[in-house]
Structure 1
C-alpha cells in the first residue's frame, strides 16, 4: 500500500472548505505526516487514518500554517497512551521547536520527541525506501521532500524455470532474490529466469515554494508530484513576491519532469470554494492534474517500468 491522504489543502488561512497544509502518507502501514497545520488531528479522525502508526512528521518550514497542528496532535497521542518516540524532521530550529513542544502546557508527554535537523541534500534511509531532502525557494528557510522506493526485482518467469529443470519450491525464491541455484549438476542463474528490475514508486512534496531546479530534478518520472499552487496566473506578481507558485507554473514543471500525476495544493482562500480557474490554467499545460480537496485519498500503484 502507498496511500496519500490530503488532510489540509488550504493556503495560509483556514476556510470552511480547507484546513491548512497537511499530507499523510501510509506506506505499508507506516504513517508519515508532511506538514501539520492547525486542526490536523481532527482531520486524521475524519479520514480514519489512525495515529498509532505515525512514525515521523516532516516539516517543510516554520510558518504557522504548516506546524500549528503539532502540539494538539502530540498531546492527543500521549493521552491515548503512546510510548514510542516520535521523529520530527525539519529545517534549522527544529530542536528548539521540539523543546517548546515538550514544555507546552502542564501535561507531561508519555513519549520522547526526537528532533532531526535537515539540510538540502540529506537522505533519510529506511529499509526499502528513502526520503530525499530538497532545497526549495520560499520566504524563510524551507525544504521539500521526495519519498523514493528502492528498485524492485524483476518478474519471475515460472515456466522458464520449470523448463530449465528447477522444481517449484524454495529454489524459486532463491532465484527471485538474485541467487544462483544448482539442479542436477547444472547451475541456473537468477538472470536466466528473472526479468529486469522494476522501479519503485516516487512521491514529491514541495511545501511552499517557487518553481525551482531541485524540485524539477527530484520529480523526474515521479508517480505523484504534490506542488504549491497558491495562485492563478493573473496573480503571478504576487506569487513571485510571496515566494509561492501559480497553478500554471506547477503544471509547466510537472510537464518538464514527466510526472504521472500532478496534484495542486496550498490553495489560496480566494479560490477555496471554487478552484476551477487554477485547474483550467494548469490543464492548458499539463492534462494529468487535479486540485486536492480536504480528505481526498490517492492510492499509488506500482509500475512495471518507467
Structure 2
C-alpha cells in the first residue's frame, strides 16, 4: 500500500453546527475507500470535500444516532448511481439488527448486495495489504475503536548488489522486490534477502470512537503513526465527561503520550468548542509532546511511508 489519506467529514459531537458535521471519516488506502462512522449529512460532506462515493466498506464505532444515521441516505444514493458491487458494513452488536433496518428502510430494495458483520474486541478484517482490527472501548453502550495496520513492507532494494550478482535488469528486479527468488541463466539462484535490506514496518492508524480513556486503547495505540482521539470536553467539564463516558482533551493527550503515538488529532468536539478549540488544544498539549492538532471538517491528512 502506498497511499494512506484521511479526510475528516464530520468533527462535531452529538449535533451538527454551522461549521462541523456529525462524525465521519473517509480513509483512502490505495484503491480502497473506507468510511468510519456515517453521521447524518456525511454524503454531502463527501461531495463537498471530493472523496468520491466508491466506498468499499463502512466501519461503525457504535450505534448512537449521530454516528450511523447517514448510512440510510448514502445507501440509497449509491443505488440511484447504479452501484452493483457489494457493500460491507461492520460494527459492534447490535449492528446486524440496526443496519438491516437501515438497508431495508423504504419501499424499494437496493440493487446491490450489502453484507453486515458484527465485530467484537480483537476481531480483524483483512484487506489487501492491511487489516482493520476492532478494539473494545469504554462508552455508555457497546462501542469499538479501530486500528488500521499496514502489513510489514519489504526492505529497500539494493540496485548495486543485484547488479554485482549478475541479475539482469527488468522483470527479475520486480520479482526480487516482491519477495520472489530469481534463477539466473547460469543456474545460480538469487534470493530476495541477497538484495533487500531489513523489512520495514507498516503504518498504523488508530481511531478511538467515543470512549473514556481506557487501557485497551492505550495498548492498541502503541507506536501508532496517528491516533485520532475524541476530545468532547475541556477540563472544566470533567464531571460531564465521566457522566457521558466521553474524554476531555487532556485525557486524549495522556492516552497518546502513554501509548507513544507519533501524532495526535483531536475530534468529536462539543458545540461549546465549535469555533474556538484553543482550550482543548492547550490542555492536550500539556500532556502530549508530539505533533498535535484539532480536526476540522475537510481536513485532509496523508500518512507518509515509514523509512
Normalized against structure 2, the TM-score is what? 0.95
| Equivalent-residue separation in structure 2 for 1:46 and 1:103 (angstroms) | 27
SS in 1 for 2:56: strand
Aligned to 1:294: 297
Q: 1:81 to 1:187 in 2, by over 3 A?
A: closer
Residue 251 of structure 1 corresponds to 253
Deviations 1:214-249 (A, max 9, x none): 211111111111101111112112111211111111
Distance in 2 (alpha carbons) for counterparts of 1:263 and 1:210: 16
Q: How far did 1:112 drift?
A: 2.2
SS of the equivalent of 2:5 reads strand
Cα 1:191–1:97 change in 2 (3 A) is same
- Whether the 8 Å CA contact 2:208–2:217 is kept in 1: the answer is yes
How far apart are 1:185 and its partner, in Å?
Answer: 4.7
1:50-199 equivalence runs, <5 A: 50-51=52-53, 53-183=54-184, 184-199=186-201
The CA deviation string for residues 26-50 of structure 1, in whole angstroms up to 9 with x for no partner, is 1113111000111101001101111
Distance 2:108 2:189 in 1: 64
Asked if the contact 2:75/2:103 (under 8 Å) is kept, the reply is no
Superposition deviation, residue 63 in structure 1: 0.3
Deviates more, 1:168-177 or 1:127-136: 168-177
> Which position in structure 2 is the counterpart of 1:242?
244
**Could you tell me whether the CA contact under 8 Å between 1:98 and 1:113 is conserved in 2?**
no
- 1:110-151 residue CA offsets vs partner (Å, 9 max, x unmatched): 222211011111011112111111010000000111111100
1:8 CA displacement: 0.2
- Residues 203-282 of structure 1: matches in 2 within 5 Å? 203-282=205-284
Q: Is the 8 A contact 2:4 2:27 kept in 1?
A: yes
Structure 2 CA distance for aligned equivalents of residues 114 and 156 of structure 1: 40
Unpaired runs of at least 5, structure 2: none
Task: Give, in angstroms, the shift of residue 23 of structure 1.
Answer: 0.5
Distance 1:8 1:182 in 2: 53
Superposition RMSD in Å: 1.3
Alignment TM-score, normalising by the size of structure 1: 0.95
2 CA distance for matches of 1:31 and 1:102? 20
Deviation at 1:201, TM superposition (A): 1.2
Whether the 8 Å contact between 1:121 and 1:133 is mirrored in structure 2 is: yes
Select between 183-192 and 71-80 the one with higher mean Cα deviation.
183-192
